[in-house]
């Protein structure tokens, strides 16, 4: 145990004691092993002099001899190493220590002050530092853990010098709601950037992204043409200049995600790399040839295995490992005059193949000639009998309405996604079929609605929760708009009408200022309102001044919990959308006096200064009132009793339908039970879980409970609550060991914490 701990310290911090004291500010502490299951595997006593570590983290910390498929090597885990990272960085709250580890282990840094954001982005997005901020503590930990899980020879990569984090609550100016962007070839010492979307989901998504984005640097800077051509051949990638990304593959199955299959060999490699490390069974199930290529060519024989803390067995005599049906035929019908909405009918004939059952749904995402979007969802046609010669096929169809305001011309779809009840997915490039969906729209437009400059207003009020009587803060944001083309979303009835014409994000920064006069540069660059909170998303409505006017007012309301953080609240961005799928953004970022930024790329105008409204903390035992809103901040993450997590398969509930049209009968139901609480006072809210099947596919779901959808927690938030996650298992579900992968808890204040329940074991050949 001591040897494993010493190795972990020296890997993370350098030689003990001199280097470790320098890089990790390491001080004397006594580490004690415990048989108990401990969240994050380590607990630090007040004062930092005593650390308790779970024996589960010590069990595989030292290399032990092993043989895998006839190859001799060693096996170990990075679990203890991750625990050491948490302790020395104080779970990411010591960013200066995290940065030293990042530089020492991976050759990268969070500090861009030497080069400056203006210089760093001059060949990419042309922005200044005010559009960026520091990482939140949990985000730093996810980065360090993900990159340390990669093989030693892939810890450092040429060109990856800077890792940046965009300001909370704003889109990427070029790529919109993307999660992260890498720029491997823009300069000798280049950078990555991560957005809120990287971290709004659970920790698997973030860890996946950190590995995915790093892989782009290997592809762009390190791997030669021979390696790339070998990879391209595995999925039969071909250059196709007429497609959006310049690449096309006619293969439908050997991909771990739709994103990788519809873009390029580079994206395919990045997705596969993340799967190889984090979900190795998934890559093996989707493509043995790719998996073998990784083992022999990319990873120098390093392989990964998943060891669960909690698992359950599925026994199914009808277990099916088949991939979903293939598309045999596509037909498209568009009916409607040049000034009318179009009735669109799309039919697809699917060939299930031998042993296929439970066809579920087909999805096609459409995009206009230059703007706009629309999604078609196809379902099995009830009562349909296949004609002679097409026995066993299934007809899927969609009957939809596309607005007369959609852009005139051919609407393209790059990919058809077919999914079954078992979550097997097949992605087929539309180029394989005669896809011709033409909209003859005389009223079609590309012009998105305009935000009228300097019209955003933000007001704070409060209201009593009808169930508990607790007084909670309410922010109301208004903004003026101008219709430039199609009516705004929601103003036209039809399936194609967006749910909302406007959405905004509301965020906060900590400040010592008692007024609403803005923030210091340091406060603006900080990681937000504290804790693990993220901006709040809100949708609203827009109303014209008169029936004939083009201008009007949009309103969005944000109802927060009484335990939300105190600080300066502001709208980070807004998005206006019309019924034709056109949208325009407006960012609100604090700028030095006399400076106007940025608005030179993307579809947004120049940034405006935020409108700040201070939400104060209740002091001296005061309680919030409707007349005087204040908050009692909860900055603690909710807790999971990791020892309480159990999982088992139970019979399907009596209320579950038998074999329904287009659906498989239920084999049973997986039930995951656990206890959770929130001692911070706001109470447990959203709960997200992941369960991994034997083929490596991660099934994500939400736990429904009495406080799932409430703003204010009903009951005692600090008391342990019993919770259950239920996952239906259709007949044909993969037989074997299913693993409880993770449970993520959110509280009413927006804090969140992810509990990883799978340990990665690393096999390294001798």
Indicate if the alpha-carbon torsion angle 475, 476, 480, 486 is positive or negative: positive
Q: Cα separation of 157 and 44, whole Å?
A: 34
State phi, psi for 417 to the nearest 5 degrees: -110, 120
Helix or strand (DSSP H, E) at 550: none
Say yes or no to pLDDT of 411 above 80. yes
The 3-state DSSP composition of the chain as helix, strand, coil percent (nearest 5) reads 20, 35, 45
Using alpha carbons, list the distances in angstroms from residue 12 to 56, 273, 756: 19, 23, 21
Q: Cα separation of 17 and 393, whole Å?
A: 69
Q: Which DSSP state fits 198?
A: G
CATH topology match: 326-439 vs 639-765: yes
Percent of the chain with pLDDT strictly greater than 70 = 93
- Going by C-alpha positions, the residue among 751, 138, 664 that lies closest to residue 356 is 664
Q: Cα separation of 265 and 238, whole Å?
A: 9
The model's confidence at residue 665, banded by pLDDT at 50, 70 and 90, is confident
Can you give the pLDDT at residue 105? 96
pTM: 0.92
- Going by C-alpha positions, the residue among 209, 205, 125, 136 that lies closest to residue 167 is 136
Percent of the chain with pLDDT strictly greater than 90 = 67
Q: Write out the two tokens for 25.
A: 């500010």
Q: Cα separation of 342 and 335, whole Å?
A: 5
Indicate if the alpha-carbon torsion angle 374, 377, 383, 384 is positive or negative: positive
Can you give the pLDDT at residue 242? 66
- Length of the chain (residues): 766
The model's confidence at residue 664, banded by pLDDT at 50, 70 and 90, is low
The model's confidence at residue 497, banded by pLDDT at 50, 70 and 90, is very low
∠ CA 404-407-408, rounded to 5° = 85
Contact 750, 715 (CB under 8 A): no
Mean pLDDT value across residues 420-449: 83
State phi, psi for 214 to the nearest 5 degrees: -65, -35
Per DSSP, the residues of 637-656 read PPEEEEEEEEEEEEPPPTTS
- Going by C-alpha positions, the residue among 672, 616, 664 that lies closest to residue 642 is 672
Contact 132, 111 (CB under 8 A): no
Q: Which DSSP state fits 426?
A: E
Can you give the pLDDT at residue 730? 86
Q: Which residues contact 677 (CB under 8 A, 6 or more apart)?
A: 638, 639, 684, 717, 718, 719, 720, 721
Q: Where are the domains of the chain?
A: 1-68, 89-222, 224-306, 326-439, 450-615, 639-765
Q: Write out the two tokens for 609.
A: 């200064």
Q: Cα separation of 165 and 198, whole Å?
A: 10
- Going by C-alpha positions, the residue among 542, 572, 538, 545 that lies closest to residue 554 is 542
Distance, first Cα to last Cα, the chain? 23
The model's confidence at residue 493, banded by pLDDT at 50, 70 and 90, is very low
Using alpha carbons, list the distances in angstroms from residue 547 to 449, 500, 544, 664: 16, 19, 7, 51
Q: Cα separation of 380 and 660, whole Å?
A: 12
Contact 757, 740 (CB under 8 A): yes
Can you give the pLDDT at residue 389? 75
Write the pLDDT tens digit of every residue in 165-221: 999 999 999 999 999 999 998 889 999 999 998 998 788 889 999 999 999 999 999
Helix, strand or coil for residue 269?
helix
Strand partners, 166: 132
Directed axis angle between helix 137-149 and helix 203-217, to 10°? 60
Write the pLDDT tens digit of every residue in 60-84: 999 999 999 999 999 999 999 999 9
CATH fold of 326-439, please? Immunoglobulin-like (2.60.40)
Write the pLDDT tens digit of every residue in 122-155: 999 988 899 999 999 999 999 999 999 999 999 9
Q: Specify the residue for token string 């109303």.
A: 543
Q: Which residue has the higher pLDDT, 161 or 387?
A: 161
CA atoms within 13 A on the CB side of 729: 28
Q: Cα separation of 642 and 674, whole Å?
A: 8
Contact 196, 535 (CB under 8 A): yes
Write the pLDDT tens digit of every residue in 308-339: 999 999 987 666 666 667 788 899 999 999 99
State phi, psi for 103 to the nearest 5 degrees: -70, -45
The CATH number of domain 639-765, selected from 1.10.260, 1.10.3470, 2.60.40, 2.40.160: 2.60.40
Q: Cα separation of 510 and 508, whole Å?
A: 7
Strand partners, 472: 463
């Amino acid at each position: 145990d001591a040897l494993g701990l010493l190795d972990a310290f020296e890997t993370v911090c350098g030689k003990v004691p001199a280097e470790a004291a320098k890089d990790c500010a390491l001080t004397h502490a006594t580490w004690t092993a415990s048989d108990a299951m401990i969240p994050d595997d380590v607990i630090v006593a007040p004062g930092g002099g005593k650390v308790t570590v779970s024996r589960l983290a010590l069990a595989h910390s030292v290399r032990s001899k092993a043989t895998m498929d006839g190859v001799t090597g060693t096996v170990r885990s990075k679990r203890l190493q991750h625990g050491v990272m948490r302790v020395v960085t104080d779970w990411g709250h010591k960013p200066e220590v995290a940065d030293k580890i990042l530089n020492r282990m991976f050759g990268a840094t969070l500090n861009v002050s030497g080069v400056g954001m203006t210089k760093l982005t001059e060949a990419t997005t042309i922005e200044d530092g005010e559009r960026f901020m520091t990482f939140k503590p949990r985000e730093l930990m996810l980065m360090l853990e993900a990159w340390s899980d990669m093989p030693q020879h892939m810890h450092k990569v040429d060109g990856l010098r800077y890792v940046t984090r965009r300001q909370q609550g704003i889109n990427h100016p070029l790529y919109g709601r993307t999660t992260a962007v890498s720029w491997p070839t823009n300069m000798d010492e280049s950078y990555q950037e991560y957005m809120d979307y990287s971290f709004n989901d659970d920790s698997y998504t973030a860890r996946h992204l950190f590995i995915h984005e790093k892989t782009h640097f290997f592809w762009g800077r390190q791997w030669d043409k021979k390696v790339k051509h070998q990879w391209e051949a595995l999925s039969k990638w071909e250059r196709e200049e007429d497609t959006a990304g310049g690449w096309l593959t006619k293969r439908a199955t050997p991909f771990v995600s739709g994103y990788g299959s519809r873009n390029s060999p580079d994206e395919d490699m990045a997705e596969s790399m993340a799967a190889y490390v984090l979900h190795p069974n998934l890559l093996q199930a989707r493509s043995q040839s790719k998996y073998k290529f990784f083992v022999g060519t990319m990873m120098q024989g390093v392989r990964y295995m998943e060891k669960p803390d909690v698992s359950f067995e599925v026994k199914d005599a009808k277990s099916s490992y088949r991939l979903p049906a293939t598309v045999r035929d596509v037909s498209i019908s568009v009916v409607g005059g040049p000034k009318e909405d179009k009735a669109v009918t799309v039919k697809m004939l699917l060939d299930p193949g031998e042993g296929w059952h439970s066809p579920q749904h087909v999805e096609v995402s459409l995009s206009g000639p230059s703007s706009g979007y629309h999604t078609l969802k196809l379902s099995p046609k009830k009562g349909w009998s296949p004609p002679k010669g097409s026995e066993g096929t299934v007809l899927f169809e969609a009957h939809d309405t596309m607005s007369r305001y959609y852009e005139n011309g051919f609407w393209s779809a790059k990919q058809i996604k077919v999914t079954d009840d078992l979550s097997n997915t097949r992605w087929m490039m539309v180029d394989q079929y005669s896809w011709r969906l033409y909209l003859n729209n005389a009223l079609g437009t590309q012009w998105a609605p305009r935000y009228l400059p300097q019209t955003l207003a933000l007001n704070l009020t409060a209201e009593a929760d009808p169930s508990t009587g607790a007084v909670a803060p309410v922010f109301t944001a208004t903004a003026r708009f101008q219709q430039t083309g199609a009516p705004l979303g929601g103003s036209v009835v039809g399936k194609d009408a967006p749910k909302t014409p406007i959405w905004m994000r509301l965020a906060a920064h900590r400040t010592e200022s008692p007024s609403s006069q803005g923030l210091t540069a340091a406060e603006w660059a900080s990681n937000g309102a504290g804790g693990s909170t993220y901006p709040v998303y809100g949708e609203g409505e827009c109303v014209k001044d008169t029936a004939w006017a083009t201008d009007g007012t949009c309103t969005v309301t944000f109802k927060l919990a009484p335990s939300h953080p105190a600080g300066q609240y502001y709208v980070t961005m807004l998005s206006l959308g019309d019924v034709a799928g056109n949208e325009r953004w407006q960012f609100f970022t604090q700028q030095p006096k006399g400076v106007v930024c940025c608005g030179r790329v993307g579809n947004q105008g120049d940034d405006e200064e935020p409108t700040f409204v201070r939400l104060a903390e209740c002091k001296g035992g005061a309680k919030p009132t409707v007349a005087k809103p204040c908050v009692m901040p909860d900055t603690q993450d909710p807790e999971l009793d990791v020892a309480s997590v159990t999982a088992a398969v139970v019979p399907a509930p009596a209320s579950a339908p038998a074999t329904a049209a287009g659906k498989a009968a239920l084999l049973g139901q997986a039930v995951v039970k656990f206890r959770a609480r929130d001692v911070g006072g706001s109470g447990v809210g959203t709960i997200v879980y992941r369960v991994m099947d034997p083929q490596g596919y991660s099934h994500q779901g939400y736990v429904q409970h009495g406080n799932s959808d409430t703003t204010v927690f009903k009951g005692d938030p600090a008391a342990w609550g019993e919770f259950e996650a239920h996952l239906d298992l259709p007949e044909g579900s993969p037989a074997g060991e299913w693993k409880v992968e993770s449970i993520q808890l959110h509280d009413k204040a927006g804090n969140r914490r992810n509990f990883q329940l799978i340990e990665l074991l690393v096999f390294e050949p001798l």
